[in-house]
Structure 1
């Protein structure tokens, strides 16, 4: 009798204790979903030329997180309104909460796949991307099995104790995947920057590995306070915003390229202006010299023409011939 009462008390305590982290995590997740929606709008308006696969990835994350947002609202309603007079009803999680667990797994799996592909593009090595893909698949399968079993739970505390291996495996696998992709991408970009490959700029994949490890630690050590469950609700929007921030960061790269090009053009424009001014001065000197040469040529031509005209005048001047006629008569001759 005492053991049954103690079990009932523990179940009642567990059902009440899960309300606070669910409310805090759900509200913060809703705020992050608003940030995700804004970043998605910015991405689709500024990067319309991206490939279909990348646009489909962003669209899938946005739609899945929209579904998770609706499920979180229904979960909060069930915990704060429907079960307000009878907290024992929370011994079984609402159906919306089970859907939240499933949708969260899909979002994180898509983000992990993107970062694994990015790691392959940067390193051109298959070992680390395949390892990350295998860890992500293990975590996703664990999450799907956990979600299916959650639909048929009869008691929350009993369910958590029985599924502790699957929950811990999913968190550990995702933490390892986050750590490998973060370290691999950072190392590749630093190596590319040293070798002159400055096309990319990287500020780290935020705090995804730390979030995963912290949540895993909270679950394995202090799982009774359900803080890990609030982080679980929050985490998919964190990784989704991390992906969108990584994509939208290219706007800063564009502005940096434009500013560097503008500086180069301004410096080149100054040199061109100096060259143009020097060319103008040279052309002015050439024009003056040409004018002087032309004046000299005109003067020489005029003097030559004048001498020719004088010669023509002397040659063409008619000669005056005086003819004297003499008339001879008998007495005298008269001329």
Structure 2
């Protein structure tokens, strides 16, 4: 494992390159999140206050995460220019970004665990998912606290490997359980013989799997990649770059899931029978649309997809 004791040990493409590329991608994803947030608050004004508070928290946390990414890029490309030895520890902004990314994922996973409970009526799996998410979040906070006081990046990666692995494995397990639970419950609704809703349920299952697999695969990639890093800190910064993208993907998946309800407006308003059937499938949270919404009487859409 390397440190940047000498300038000859410093490889710009392996250290600054991944952070710069992933930082720019993170900025693009944050822009997508901002657009989706505007759409959500403009079109779903009557959603439950708790749901709007969760979305607001994700946006504000990701704004802080974005500021940390910009600060990290400034430190690595400007403040430490000509002195690579300063990059043997993570910039403070990177430590804060680690903590903020965990908070975003924790809020989103809590939302999906609640969705699973409302759909299945079974409390065991949601509690299991919440416990896994809490374990991961606690591990993240511990890693963050230790990262702030680190003196050597290479040694830190070795010493904290167990906690880092625990965090990402728990996150991935939580995502997979939630995805499988929701998809299986929707499949049972599909097989129950409710008329006129098979196509919609198939679409819900597809969207559920797509959303859950993207986030869980990213967590699994981070978990399996970290122990296989051969060189630190060069390899570590490549891994950190992917970590910077992860919470943006998770936040966008949440907003995409909520905004997809717009696609059901026309379909739901076409038939009272179809509306009644869908009311037996989707999750109840007591939200309604604005008076301009033709499907105002169609309840329980805040957890639809």
1:255 aligns with 2:266: yes
Distance 1:15 1:152 in 2: 25
> Structure 1 residue 104 and structure 2 residue 101: aligned?
yes
Q: For 1:47 and 1:140, how far apart are their aligned partners in 2?
A: 30
1:159 counterpart residue number: 156
State how far apart, in whole Å, the 2-side matches of 1:46 and 1:77 are. Answer: 37
* Distance in 1 (alpha carbons) for counterparts of 2:71 and 2:13: 17
1:142 aligns with one of 139, 144, 162: 139
Q: Does 1:48 align with 2:45?
A: yes
The change in CA–CA distance for 1:208 and 1:65 in structure 2 (over 3 A counts) is: same
Q: Which moved more, 1:11-20 or 1:191-200?
A: 11-20
* Corresponding residue for residue 222 of structure 1: 229
Query: 1:18 Cα shift?
Result: 3.1
Any stretches of 5+ residues in structure 2 without a counterpart? 275-305
Question: For 1:122-171, what per-residue CA distance to the aligned partner results, in whole angstroms no more than 9, with x for missing partners?
Answer: 11101110110110000000000000111101111111111111111101
Query: In the alignment, what sits opposite 1:239?
Result: 250
Higher RCO (C-alpha under 8 Å, 6+ residues apart): 2
Which structure 2 residues correspond to residues 73-88 of structure 1 after superposition, within 5 A?
Answer: 73-88=70-85
Q: Bigger CA drift: 151-160 or 6-15? A: 6-15
The answer to whether the 8 A contact 1:43-1:244 is kept is yes
**Which residue does the alignment assign to 2:88?**
91
Q: Given that residues 32 and 237 in structure 1 are in contact (C-alpha distance below 8 angstroms), is that contact kept between their aligned partners in structure 2?
A: yes
Q: Distance in 2 between matches of 1:141 and 1:13?
A: 34
- Residue 17 of structure 1 deviates from its aligned partner by 3.2
Contact 1:15-1:88 within 8 A present in 2 as well: no
Q: 1:163 to 1:251 in 2, by over 3 A?
A: same
Q: Which residue of 2 aligns with 1:208?
A: 215
CA contact (8 A) 1:168 1:216 kept: yes
**Map of 1:321 onto structure 2:** none
How is 1:1-335 mapped onto 2 (pairs within 5 angstroms)?
A: 8=5, 12-13=9-10, 17-195=14-192, 196=194, 198=197, 201-202=203-204, 203-204=207-208, 205-206=210-211, 207-222=214-229, 224=231, 225-226=235-236, 227-258=238-269, 260-261=270-271
Matched-pair contact (CA < 8 Å) for 1:12–1:88: no
Deviation at 1:213, TM superposition (A): 1.1
Identify the residue that residue 294 of structure 2 maps to in structure 1.
none
Query: Does the aligned pair in 2 maintain the 1:15–1:87 contact within 8 Å?
Result: no
How big is the shift at 1:10?
A: 11
Larger radius of gyration: 1
CA–CA distance in 2 between the matches of 1:145 and 1:17? 27
Kept after mapping to 1: 8 A contact 2:4/2:84: no
In 2, are the aligned partners of 1:16 and 1:90 still within 8 Å (CA)? no
Structure 1 SS opposite 2:150: coil
> Matches of 1:125 and 1:240 in 2, distance apart?
26
SS of structure 2 residue aligned to 1:249: helix
Which 5+ residue runs of structure 1 have no aligned equivalent? 265-335
